[in-house]
Amino acid sequence: MLESQRELWGGRFSGETDPLMERFNASIGFDKRMYAQDLTGSRAYAAALHARGLITAEELEQLQRGLDAVRAEWENGTFAVVAGDEDIHTANERRLGELVGAVAGKLHTGRSRNDQVATDMRLWLRDEVKAIREHLLQLIRVAVERAEREQDVLMPGYTHLQRAQPIRWSHLLLSYVWSWHADAERLDQLLARINTSPLGAGALAGNPFQVDRTSLATSLGFERVAQNSLHAVLDRDFVAEFLFWSSLVMSHISRLAEDLIVYSSGEFGFVQLADAYSTGSSLMPQKKNPDSLELLRGKSGRAFGQMAGFMMTMKGLPSTYNKDMQEDKEPMFDAVDTVAGSLQITAGVLATLTINATKMQSSLSADMLATDLAEYLVRKGVPFRETHHISGAAVRMAEERGVSLSQLTPDDLRQLHPAFADDVAGVWDFEKSVEQRASIGGTSRTTVLDQCRILRDWLASATPSQ
């Protein structure tokens, strides 16, 4: 037998393949991660062939017993990849033939590696997305529990990294939770689109043996069947969507990491990471570096890079399958690994973080209540655009005198507007300021606890995907 005929496609060729080309062409080094899904799809396809009378009941039993034996070898680590196993499909089929003989050749009847690999990828990603979803829900649980527990802690809220208004620490935490809540919704929507079966599309034109694609899809847990065979073998939109989703959720994690990195610095001192998520310096023994957060911030760039690279690969391909598409798996695998690990690390960081409530409180300053001063006048009937300028003038007055805004007397303030009364002293109360923000989405205690309740109810309904 010619060497090239060991390949699934080798019958057309009489010459030898360049060994370098063999290595360049091979994907077994990374697509073996899909061994279980490849065997699951083959098991279902064998049953579909039997249903069409293309193999006997005895042959079906032989094939399924052989496929189970191949799976056992992968699971116990005894499967041996040999020369010529260019991908997981070739490796599994080769080993099946060694175990059950010539009947293994019937398994590929009407099936192409084009629809086979598309099916394997969808099965694999579907399984991984379900696991990632659970990691995401756990992160949300950790953050919501922390928000409820630390609802009384006040801190500065920032815009442009400048102190702006007082908020609750819990309100800040929940701002990230709502981003992750939207990520979870998007993931559920993506899962529905992943769950489409291309099996039975053949190489590109369809299955000539009238295999029941609907029953085949149902047996594999797919919700629907790809309706166009050309589209079925080409479509990698589900990979692109997952890579985009990964980039987006990692950007949310990265922003949290940046906040916590800043807040853990000596200049802020609002939070301290647990030793389990920190490292030291090789030179300076006093250092406690937030390496977990810095790695999370860095991993977001990695996730985005995988998406950008994949989109460049796919953007100009002609119809149906092209070998360029071998580049679709490593970005998918890497994004899954990156996101799954990052979600778990983020949950660990948040669960073990220590906050310095005293330092947060002491960082509040009277100038952060300048808006409250303007709102005081609004309640006296003065238009807000006018009160904004009056409050700004009060800030300037305090700066010129070298005193805190709260040290200006009612008489001082009446120089700016006669509506100021002695009760203006009540403005300089951070808790009161926060509690006034009591409309939906505000930072008052009631609205923060409402957010927690809504999120807890949603978590209770967000049962594992089936």
- Which residues are part of the catalytic machinery? 160, 281
Cβ proximity of 406 and 424 under 8 Å: no
Which residue type, as a one-letter code, is found at position 118? A
Q: Is the dihedral of CA 16, 20, 23, 25 positive or negative?
A: negative
CB 119 within 8 A of CB 197: yes
Render the burial of 207-227: b for 16+ CB within 10 Å, e for the rest: beeebebeebbebbebeebbe
Cβ(415)–Cβ(426) below 8 Å: no
Q: How far apart are CA 243 and CA 310, in angstroms?
A: 8
Q: Two tokens at 90?
A: 């070739």
CA-to-CA distance for 348 and 295, rounded, in angstroms?
Answer: 14
Residue 192, both tokens: 């529905």
Distance CA 47, CA 54 (A): 10
- Determine how β-strand 271-272 pairs with β-strand 224-225: unpaired
Q: Using N-to-C axis directions, what is the helix angle for 237-263 and 169-194, rounded to 10°?
A: 170
How far is residue 52's CA from residue 458's CA, in Å, rounded to a whole number? Answer: 45
Give the whole-angstrom CA distance, residue 298 versus residue 250: 9
Nearest to 70 by CA among 98, 50, 101: 98
CA distance to 197, 223, 454, per residue, from 442 (Å): 45, 41, 14
DSSP 261: H
Strand partners, 282: none
Helices 35-51 and 57-76: angle between axes, nearest 10 degrees: 180
For residue 152, which of 166, 139, 140 has the smallest C-alpha distance? 166
Cα distances (angstroms) measured from residue 329 to each of 165, 242, 314, 402: 47, 12, 12, 63
DSSP 289: B
